[in-house]
């Protein structure tokens, strides 16, 4: 049966392929009683599930990509160790024999008992290991229930596959970078969630906020994913399929044409140079950065070195990652944002998730609360600065006290390196992210104290309009063109210009070609975005004349009638 689902298109393009279902949700297990004569068969079924899970983990370990964090292998080893422990591999069998219950129920009961024991441990790190136990048990449960939800063991599909999930975290997306999916769709998520941002960085058509796709779509259903219009068509008929194959071909032709702009000088028609930088998460993104012809890295999200693992990366491990990126850029700037965990990016070793994590202990607040963790990262970044044009970017600054404490921590890290005789750039530029209204309103102060500013528009919009960027129920209220948002951006750009300090935008607005002329009209000259968006933005820059942008930009800035916003933006874009 053919039907359509409508959600939020978070990454453009069209993909056609077969559904591959996965789930990260806790599993509801059945409970039923067995006759005595079936007990041995149930025990054998349980043993087979353990063996299948072991094989799955071992194959995953053999497919770890070369650029993955070194601890990923240790992480899988730990899960294998838990799987082999008698508390998981044997204790449920005793329950099956004693109570004559089914294997799923016995295993779920044993998991709850183990979790309760972990809860009694005082040490926070050891207590957090209960999550590993839960993850291992869930793998076994999925094997028992006949619908494995793990990533495919064979990473080279013979046909195009589309990932269908209830929800994906940024950590999941990092792993998915090593498995080729043509697209993904999820029930939850919003256009500015970090998962959506990662999808755009991979140039992967994606639709989120479909609400019940995971329940309605079956494995191997044929899907069309239209990432621009936010539509998913399930089991389309031949005429619809033919129409979308035509659209897909045209999209690929347009994408190929953009590649010709790679070597063109990035400047407006009146000759004003515009810097186009790239946002990255991992060293593996460098190829895309070079393919797009970026002027450098405007945002290296270092927190992705801390995800998908059960412990903290060491100073040497971080240093190796930062150094590799700095050397790969061959003299071009590399802006490393210090740890920005919290909100929708949680590490298993981190603090307890707050009731409202977006307003809780995240980003620079977390780093200042964990001086040991921050010191280690600062030393690693500083050491990497000896190998290229490295810059430090501080996330989510809001107060002068935070800035003073941060600069003091950087001075302490520098002093420790001098004491150890390790080289670093003494004049390493230090910048701050303008992501909250308080920082934007105080931009003149921050511009005076720092070497550069970078506007994180995703969070700036979230905090200015009180819109949870991960909540699709309020996604329609998320408005980059709200006059308050535009005023804060313009105020920050002007403060930087007055202080003689460069200002960049590294949020999603920078990568939206529909907003390129608007940002140029507001005075922006440095954009940083996902590499996949860079050539589209460059195309807009090449067609723009700054003098012609000023009047329509000011009209849009002063507009208070939402009904006129689209028309004003279209006029600014010349359409």
Question: What six digits make up the tokens of 272?
Answer: 């004003």
- The rounded distance, in Å, linking the Cα atoms of 532 and 278 is 9
State the catalytic residues.
194, 506
Question: How, if at all, do strands 430-434 and 452-455 pair?
Answer: parallel
Instruction: Determine contact, residues 443/452, Cβ cutoff 8 Å.
Output: no
Listed in sequence order, the residues at least 6 apart from 536 whose beta carbon sits closer than 8 Å to its beta carbon are: 258, 513
Vertex 304: Cα angle to 534 and 111 (nearest 5): 140
Instruction: Determine contact, residues 402/346, Cβ cutoff 8 Å.
Output: no
Q: From the CB of residue 292, how many other CB atoms can be counted at a distance below 10 Å?
A: 23
Instruction: Determine contact, residues 474/491, Cβ cutoff 8 Å.
Output: no
* Bridge partners, 358 (sequence order): none
Torsions phi, psi of 222, nearest 5? Answer: -80, 130
Strand-by-strand arrangement of the 8-11 sheet: 3-6, 231-234, 222-226, 14-22, 161-165, 183-186, 206-208, 8-11
Question: What six digits make up the tokens of 134?
Answer: 């839960």
Q: From the CB of residue 514, how many other CB atoms can be counted at a distance below 10 Å?
A: 16
- The rounded distance, in Å, linking the Cα atoms of 434 and 438 is 9
- Distance linking the first and last C-alpha atoms of the chain: 40
Helical residues (DSSP H) of 477-561, grouped into ranges: 483-499, 516-521, 531-542, 546-558
- The rounded distance, in Å, linking the Cα atoms of 153 and 55 is 10
Q: How many residues does the chain have?
A: 575
- The rounded distance, in Å, linking the Cα atoms of 574 and 555 is 14
How would DSSP label each residue in 114-150? HHHHHHT-S-HHHHTTHHHHHHHHHHHHHHHHT---S
Compute the half-sphere exposure of residue 182: CA atoms within 13 Å on the CB side of its CA. Answer: 20
Question: What six digits make up the tokens of 278?
Answer: 């790239």
- The rounded distance, in Å, linking the Cα atoms of 537 and 539 is 5
| CA-based R_g, the chain, Å | 25
Per residue in 217-241, is it b (16+ CB within 10 Å) or e — as a string?
Answer: beeebbbbbbbeebbbbbbbeeeee
- Give 59-95 as a 3 state SS string: HHHHCCCCCCCCHHHHHHHHHHHHHHCHHHHCHHHHH
- The rounded distance, in Å, linking the Cα atoms of 208 and 33 is 40
Compute the half-sphere exposure of residue 318: CA atoms within 13 Å on the CB side of its CA. Answer: 28
């Amino acid at each position: 049966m053919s039907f359509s689902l409508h959600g939020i298109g978070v990454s453009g393009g069209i993909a056609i392929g077969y559904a591959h279902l996965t789930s990260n949700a806790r599993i509801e297990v059945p409970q039923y009683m067995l006759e005595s004569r079936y007990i041995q068969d149930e025990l054998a079924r349980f043993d087979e599930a353990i063996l299948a899970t072991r094989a799955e983990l071992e194959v995953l370990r053999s497919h770890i990509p070369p650029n993955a964090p070194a601890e990923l292998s240790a992480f899988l080893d730990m899960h294998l160790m838990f799987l082999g422990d008698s508390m998981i591999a044997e204790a449920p069998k005793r329950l099956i024999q004693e109570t004559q219950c089914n294997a799923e129920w016995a295993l779920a009961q044993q998991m709850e008992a183990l979790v309760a024991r972990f809860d009694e441990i005082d040490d926070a790190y050891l207590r957090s290991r209960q999550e590993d136990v839960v993850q291992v048990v869930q793998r076994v449960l999925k094997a028992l229930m006949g619908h494995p939800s793990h990533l495919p063991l064979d990473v080279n599909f013979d046909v195009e596959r589309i990932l269908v999930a209830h929800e994906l975290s940024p950590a999941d997306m990092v792993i998915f970078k090593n498995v080729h999916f043509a697209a993904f769709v999820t029930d939850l998520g919003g256009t500015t969630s970090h998962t959506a941002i990662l999808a755009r960085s991979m140039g992967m058509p994606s639709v989120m906020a479909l609400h019940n796709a995971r329940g309605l779509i079956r494995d191997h259903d044929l899907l069309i994913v239209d990432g621009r219009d936010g539509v998913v068509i399930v089991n389309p008929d031949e005429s619809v399929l033919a129409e979308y194959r035509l659209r897909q071909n045209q999209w690929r032709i347009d994408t190929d044409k953009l590649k010709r702009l790679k070597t063109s000088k990035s400047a407006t028609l009146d000759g004003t140079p515009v810097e186009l930088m790239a946002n990255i998460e991992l060293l593996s993104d460098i190829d895309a950065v070079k393919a797009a012809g970026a002027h450098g890295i405007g945002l290296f999200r270092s927190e992705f070195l801390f995800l998908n693992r059960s412990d903290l990366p060491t100073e040497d491990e971080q240093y190796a990652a930062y150094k590799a990126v700095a050397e790969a850029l061959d003299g071009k700037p590399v802006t490393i944002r210090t740890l920005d965990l919290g909100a929708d990016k949680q590490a298993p070793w981190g603090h307890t998730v707050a009731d409202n994590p977006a307003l809780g202990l995240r980003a620079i607040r977390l780093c200042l609360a964990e001086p040991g963790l921050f010191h280690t990262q600062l030393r690693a970044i500083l050491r990497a600065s000896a190998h290229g044009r490295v810059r430090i970017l501080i996330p989510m600054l809001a107060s002068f006290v935070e800035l003073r404490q941060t600069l003091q921590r950087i001075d302490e890290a520098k002093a420790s390196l001098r004491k150890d005789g390790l080289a670093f750039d003494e004049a390493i530029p230090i910048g701050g992210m303008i992501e909250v209204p308080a920082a934007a309103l105080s931009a003149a102060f921050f511009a005076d104290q720092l070497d550069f500013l970078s506007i994180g528009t995703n969070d700036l919009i979230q905090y200015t309009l009180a819109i949870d960027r991960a909540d699709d129920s309020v996604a329609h209220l998320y408005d980059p063109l709200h006059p308050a948002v535009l005023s804060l951006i313009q105020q920050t750009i002007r403060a930087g210009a007055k202080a003689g300090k460069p200002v960049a935008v590294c949020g999603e607005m920078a990568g939206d070609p529909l907003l390129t002329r608007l940002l140029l009209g507001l005075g922006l000259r440095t954009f940083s975005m996902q590499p996949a968006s860079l050539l589209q933005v460059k195309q807009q820059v090449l067609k723009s004349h700054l003098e012609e942008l000023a009047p329509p930009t000011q009209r849009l800035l002063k507009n208070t009638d939402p009904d006129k916003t689209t028309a004003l933006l279209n006029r600014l874009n010349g359409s």
